[in-house]
Amino acid sequence: MKETPKAGALGTIATFLFGSILHLDKAMQDEITFWLQTAAFLISLIVGVLTIYISIRKIREKNGKV
């Protein structure tokens, strides 16, 4: 994976969050982890759909079918 400033910042934030989570009880850790994973999945799903939409639009514009 290509290193970018955003990736570095996200890594730092994630490390901080997971370091803070370790001080909570196990049930709360599991719930926070679940919601973080759910949010990450939804974001990746939205990005995937937008990427497909933009790609199809570019192909149509290239072929002259707007």
pLDDT in tens, 11-54: 677 767 766 767 778 888 888 889 889 999 999 999 999 999 99
Above 60 in pLDDT, residue 5?
Answer: no
Asked if residue 2 is part of any domain, the answer here is no
Q: Which domain holds residue 64?
A: 25-66
Query: Contact 7/1 with Cβ under 8 angstroms?
Result: yes
Asked if residue 17 is part of any domain, the answer here is no
pLDDT at res. 1: 47
Asked if residue 12 is part of any domain, the answer here is no
Global pTM value = 0.58
Q: 3: Cβ–Cβ under 8 A, 6 or more apart, which residues?
A: none
Say which residue, 57 or 5, is predicted with more confidence. 57
Give the number of other CB atoms < 10 A from CB of residue 21.
14
Number of structural domains (the chain) is 1
Nearest CA to 35 out of 21, 52, 15 is that of 21
